[in-house]
A and B are shown apart, each in its own frame.
Chain A
């Protein structure tokens, strides 16, 4: 009976969302799926962050106080895996789901059922991954880079579950990427040529190609591990004719494009936010597109810069050093363009802009340390020290994460129909900014002074900066709960948001009311 009544009610509302849990389980609506991706990624961000707090608590002082080395290694491993595959990547897919159709004037993603499936695979994958913590022998403890043979011959029994989880995540990412490409190439509004696409769309298109190119490589390398562990092959075992370094080549062939997968969509989002709050068009649109393309292409020929100390021949060493240094050119172009966009604008500093400006400054600092790491002889000193930890946290936290926060604040009024609390948003920004720099800047000093990464205890000369870093990390971690509060408050209520709450913003998404109807752009808009 009630089912019949429900059907009627839905008809009356012209295909509104279904009621209850089935809305979320069965939805094919890009807005619902985008929301689920974003909520999932924030949950994973808090979980991975909690693990980071355990790491920083143990490193607060020299000596072993809180956890044993065995568990410490599980924490560093799970922190990395969860942040990369659970927090950053799904957050960008969430943004893509919400924003791509709105930005290109499409009614939905091109493949809505696959969209649903690619989301629901993720909680399954992470359920398996997190459950390894409770298995006998513990969770994976070999670092998020899971180098063989530590992860094969010497890995804990739960490694096979970890491999299964990575496979599922990979399938989910590949399907997400296919969907993005199909949507962008087929569903653009009439008149929107490729070179008129918003930059977030461009960066996601290129990111999606990167995903399709490298996720199968990751699947390949974990499958080789699976064979080595369970079926007696010796891909990575020298005593059987294999090569442990082969693992690193295959892994980083995936791994380096992967780091651009985590940053390119942020480049795109920031390229909307900075012009919006500078009230001035983006400087050098075409060169921004070419720069992203160049970065993506170069990302395939630089993988061995993660392996300068494994003993590759000098010719290889030189090639990878030069190729890596080249990446500074297109990356520099992007930074110069953002600065030129701000130059002689009419700037205002609402929360999205604060995060975006911090993104440019701090990501550039991460870029500088990246350039230093590219110098192969110097890398012999930096490699596997806290200098590297500082470097990749500077590109990932103020890069990817600040990019995501900037996007979230920028589009929250559009998604919810309410303005978020600006004072709380700014507080969130400043506490994050200070905490993040306090946590990660001293790591440069620690690395240069000689502290290796992934150690649960350290020599006494590293004590001071480790304590500073831990305090910063606790501050940054605690601050993120404020974001949860801000979002919940914004969803529940607040000042009504206009269709275009930011006077400098441009794009099709701002032509829709806030929040947009459940089904938007059912007739495509015309782009001139």
Chain B
């Protein structure tokens, strides 16, 4: 039945709208790939079937009355309106069903809350509107941004199969290991969800939530932010790549090296062109969501950078805003989020892009000194 529906849907969809051919008529939750998600799935199915059975009984009696006890068929009404035994029964029976249901639910919950004895600890931080993953034992971390292009979102390009569910740098975890996730946020509340793991945890600024997962099958798993977090709430997916241990170790070694190289870049002497080139990329991932790719912003919430007094003239104020943010507004403090190189690059870019031709540049060393002057 479902296969037929799927085929019919795919056929019809393929004819009507290209997007429909990708669609499937999924009706139910998927069991997922972790112990937790499987337990949740079986709880879900149990309670669903209990509801279906109760529904059949209750609606059965109701429809029987609707068909058999109609006035139009000359049915004469009975006059009963009380029965203590029945009332007591239909209070106690549902209560017993609930108790039966609560027992496995409690067991699953206790298991979900047990974050002890983890093998890997990763800090997950929600930002407007991307995730940051910090590998706490390994001394590196990175941002994970939406990889879907604006052209796809605005229907100028055909949407690919992972439309809105694709990121530049996925979270990488080893299979078969207990991964503890420390979830927090930098600005507003976000929520980190991967349905296949049965893990959803709110990321709350100023607080750290704990959760864990153990994935046994290698693969790529996708989810989304599930707490309304502003304009681009629908555009901050979660992608997790579960890989075998050896592959994971290799990847970690690579990342550590790359992080080390990145730190050394601060010492390098940068030219304006190099900074501009790097700044353009940084701007696109960190700033363009609010200030727009052409620096026009969306006033009053997100001021324009093109032609801005601060960007054109006051270098210290510019540094201050980017590094420390503006409290009470959506402008975050990027000092802790971006490297000195990226900070220098993005400030230089903003002062020289879109007709802001100041010719001024700020070097990573100067940013480093600025950050450490207090």
A residues with a Cβ closer than 8 A to B are 61-65, 69-70, 73, 136-137, 141-143, 147, 149-150, 153-154, 156-157, 237-239, 243-245, 278-287, 309-311, 314, 317-318, 321-322, 325-326, 328-329, 332-333, 335-336, 339-348, 357, 360-361, 364-365, 368, 371-372, 375-378, 380-381, 383-385, 445, 448-450, 452-465, 467
Nearest-CB residue, chain B, relative to A451: B224
**Chain B residues within an 8 Å CB radius of A449:** 26-27, 29-30
Option from A278, A279, A341, A456 in Cβ contact (under 8 Å) with B234: A456
* Interface status of B81 (Cβ within 8 A of chain A): yes
Binary per-residue interface labels of chain B (216-240) against chain A in the complex, 1 for a CB within 8 Å, 0 otherwise: 0000000111111111111100000
Q: Which 7 A-B pairs have the closest CB atoms?
A: A238-B206, A455-B234, A460-B22, A311-B209, A368-B51, A281-B81, A384-B226
CB distance from B8 to the nearest CB of A (A): 11
Option from B17, B91, B105, B328 in Cβ contact (under 8 Å) with A376: B105
B residues with a Cβ closer than 8 A to A are 9, 13, 17, 19-20, 22-30, 36-37, 39-40, 43-44, 47-48, 51, 54-55, 58-59, 61-62, 64-66, 69-72, 75-83, 86-87, 90-91, 94-95, 98, 101-102, 105-106, 108-110, 112-113, 128, 152-155, 159, 161-165, 187-189, 191, 193, 195, 198-202, 204-207, 209-210, 223-235, 298, 300-301, 328-330
Knowing A153-B328, A329-B94, the reply to whether A245 touches B191 (Cβ < 8 A) is no
Most buried by B among A70, A340, A342: A340
What are 30 A-B interface contacts by the 8 Å CB criterion? A69-B234, A73-B228, A149-B205, A153-B187, A153-B328, A279-B77, A282-B81, A284-B81, A286-B82, A314-B109, A321-B105, A328-B94, A336-B90, A339-B65, A341-B81, A343-B64, A344-B75, A345-B77, A345-B78, A347-B75, A364-B59, A368-B55, A371-B51, A377-B112, A377-B198, A448-B28, A455-B234, A457-B164, A464-B13, A464-B23
- Asked if residues B65 and A329 are in contact (CB atoms below 8 Å), the reply is no
- Asked if residues B77 and A326 are in contact (CB atoms below 8 Å), the reply is no
**Chain A residues within an 8 Å CB radius of B328:** 153
**Chain B residues within an 8 Å CB radius of A280:** 77-79, 81
**Chain B residues within an 8 Å CB radius of A318:** 106, 109
CB distance from B208 to the nearest CB of A (A): 9
- Once bound together, how far apart are the Cα atoms of A402 and B252, in whole Å? 58
CB distance from A459 to the nearest CB of B (A): 5
**Chain B residues within an 8 Å CB radius of A467:** 20
Option from A286, A347, A376 in Cβ contact (under 8 Å) with B109: A376
- Asked if residues B77 and A375 are in contact (CB atoms below 8 Å), the reply is no
- Asked if residues B23 and A463 are in contact (CB atoms below 8 Å), the reply is yes
Knowing A281-B79, A460-B163, A461-B24, the reply to whether A287 touches B206 (Cβ < 8 A) is no
- Once bound together, how far apart are the Cα atoms of A227 and B170, in whole Å? 40
- Asked if residues A329 and B229 are in contact (CB atoms below 8 Å), the reply is no
CB distance from A141 to the nearest CB of B (A): 8
CB distance from B5 to the nearest CB of A (A): 10
- Once bound together, how far apart are the Cα atoms of A377 and B210, in whole Å? 15
**Chain B residues within an 8 Å CB radius of A283:** 80-83
- Once bound together, how far apart are the Cα atoms of A283 and B77, in whole Å? 13
**Chain B residues within an 8 Å CB radius of A335:** 58
**Chain A residues within an 8 Å CB radius of B191:** 309, 383-384
Most buried by B among A243, A282, A328, A460: A460
- Asked if residues A156 and B81 are in contact (CB atoms below 8 Å), the reply is no
- Asked if residues B188 and A459 are in contact (CB atoms below 8 Å), the reply is no
**Chain B residues within an 8 Å CB radius of A73:** 228, 230-231, 233
- Asked if residues A460 and B69 are in contact (CB atoms below 8 Å), the reply is no
